[in-house]
Structure 1
Amino acid sequence: MTQRILIGKLAVLLASLNEEELGFLHPNLTEIRFCKGRVGSMNLQKVIAAVETAAKRERLIEDQHYRETHALYHAILEAIEGVTRGQSGIGEMKRTVGLSFAVVRGKPYLEEAEGEWLAVAFYGTIGAPVKGLEHEAVGLGINHI
């Protein structure tokens, strides 16, 4: 491979595209390992669990390898900080999220020894738990495996 794969940029793009929009890109994504999903909650643990479950279901991480689960967890927390503007509480702060997410696994560096990395991106809304009072938000987290 002669070109870096920008896993963060790709994750943000995938998280923000709907299924119809993704259809235009999908044929070009055959060599990229990723998963997508949606989660809405006032509970941060449910958001974390949704991403972790999707990544495990799509075999982006191996459950028996602690370092992979650990890397995913830190990437999720970093991405959540972007969505919540550094205040990672949701329900306890009387706010809710409706998010699409993407997890991308890849080798973003040309040097093979740099290994694999995970990028987690969220795109959606955050706000008071009243329909119409939310606003858009995006978050990105990247961690090495």
Structure 2
Amino acid sequence: MALKKEHRIGRHATLLVLTDDRSEQEQITNQLNWKSCSGKVGSMESQKVVAAIETAAKQQGIIKDNVYRETHSLYHAIMEALYGITRGQMQLGSVMRTVGLRFAVVRGNPYEDETEGEWLAVAIYGTIGAPIKGLEHETLGLGINHI
């Protein structure tokens, strides 16, 4: 059970969230025939960030809305990525922090053995800081979970 070097799902999700070029975004996932989506969210509430990512993944067909294990997998990947951007605090508004984020969700099989099944990677990049324009800093989080 080895990861394929060119199939590093977390790397692809991170590259996808960091690029502004739409054609480059398409190239990142099309080369592997993986599913992906991306979007933006800004909030002082963690649950709104989670909801925005889940909604985009469902609307873009990355996960099936009526299959619990897919929603559950996505939730854990999102929480792991959020944990990274919030430095383990998992809260925003209650500690007077606001975020302006971009996210990318990638679904695919990163292993040589196809029976390992599909995985989800969620990358979140943007700014976090006090709710005063100009007093934020960059942040990046990544979460990966099996389906």
Asked if these proteins are the same fold (TM beyond 0.5), I'd say yes
Where do residues 52-67 of structure 1 align in structure 2 (5 Å cutoff)? 52-67=54-69
Q: CA deviation at 1:61?
A: 0.4
Deviations 1:29-76 (A, max 9, x none): 322210000000001110000000000001110011100000000000
Residue identity in the other structure for 1:118: L
Counterpart AA for 1:26 = E
Q: Deviations over 1:98-145 (max 9, x none)?
A: 000000000011111211000000000000000000000000000000
Equivalence for 2:94: 92
Tell me the equivalent position of 2:136.
134
- Separation of aligned partners in 2, 1:133 and 1:70: 34
Under a length normalisation based on structure 1, what TM-score does the superposition of the two structures give? 0.93
Q: CA RMSD in A?
A: 1.4
Residue in structure 1 matched with residue 29 of structure 2 by the alignment: 29
1:74–1:143 contact (8 Å) kept in structure 2: yes
Secondary structure of residue in 2 paired with 1:140: strand
Task: Summarize the alignment of residues 34-113 of structure 1 with structure 2, pairs less than 5 Å apart.
Answer: 34-113=36-115
| Runs of 4+ displaced beyond 4 Å | none
TM-score by length of 2: 0.92
CA deviations over 1:62-98 (Å, ceiling 9, x no partner): 0111000000000000000110011110000100010
- SS of structure 2 residue aligned to 1:125: strand
Paired with 1:43 and 1:35, the residues of 2 have a C-alpha distance of 22
Identity of aligned residues (%): 58
